[in-house]
Amino acid sequence: PEHTNVTEREEGCRRSHTMTAPRRGGRVVIVDNLDSYTHNLASLVFSVTGSRPLVITNTDRAAYQAALDSPEGVLCVILSPGPGRPQRDDDVGMCREILADASLPVFGVCLGYQALAVAHGLPVSHSPYGPTHGQVQPVNHTGAHPMFEGVPQGFLATRYHSLAVCHTDGASPSFPESMLKLAWTDDGVIQAIAHRSLPLWGVQFHPESVCTEHGATLVRNFHQMALSLCPPSLPTPLPPAGGEAPAEGEAPAEE
């Protein structure tokens, strides 16, 4: 089937990078592309995971690095919707760097999805059907990717976008070998993509919208994929005062 296999995803998650490795107990970080829907997305993540995500603006690299370096760590990243174009650094901030690093599972929404597309060779231009702001339309998917597990064909999704993954003439692009098309609307506009071997996924529609069906399922699937792809980082036990740390498998001496 046309979807990323577990071995490839694990390899993508475990590659050596400059950033801190993901941790099973780590937080979900939402990079805010200055959108009014970001905190709706944060509320959905909280309702699904039971933990409040950390929301960081897309220019606050110091806060993002502090989250990576914290004892809790970062499990995965969501790139929020936002105004502007994915080709502009001023509009996407550090999203481009996070996607290039690819050491953490990433889920892009709307502008975040478009940034993922551009980062991996797909064109983003004006949708051939013009702006679709607040339109609720059915979405179909391949049925073969874990992102859409438990999501029926033709589920209703809310669209807020004027750009799309397409050429300047509105034609759908040929996909590079590294990328997968996962979902689309009846008019043929692509609505979800994934990288074949890295833990990078994205949707054009808004899962956090009250009119989108199964939005919580999509976020839950992403969170579960992040948990399954990234093994726990266990802290190294501190040695007892005045002695050496116990050998692996050896119980510490009683006081």
Catalytic residues: 110, 206, 208
Nearest to 235 by CA among 16, 25, 18, 10: 25
Give me the pLDDT at residue 23, please: 55
For the chain, the first-to-last Cα distance in angstroms comes to 57
Name residues of the chain where pLDDT drops below 70.
1-25, 230-255
- Quickly count: other Cβ atoms within 10 Å of residue 71's Cβ: 8
Give me the pLDDT at residue 2, please: 35
* C-alpha–C-alpha distance, residues 199 and 145, integer Å: 13
* C-alpha–C-alpha distance, residues 52 and 44, integer Å: 10
Give me the pLDDT at residue 26, please: 85
Nearest to 39 by CA among 89, 92, 78: 78
Is the entire prediction scored with pTM above 0.85? no
Give the per-residue SS3 of 19-83.
CCCCCCCCEEEEEECCCCCHHHHHHHHHHHHCCCCEEEECCCHHHHHHHHHCCCCEEEEEECCCC
125 alpha-carbon distance from chain centroid? 21
Give me the pLDDT at residue 22, please: 52
Give me the pLDDT at residue 231, please: 56
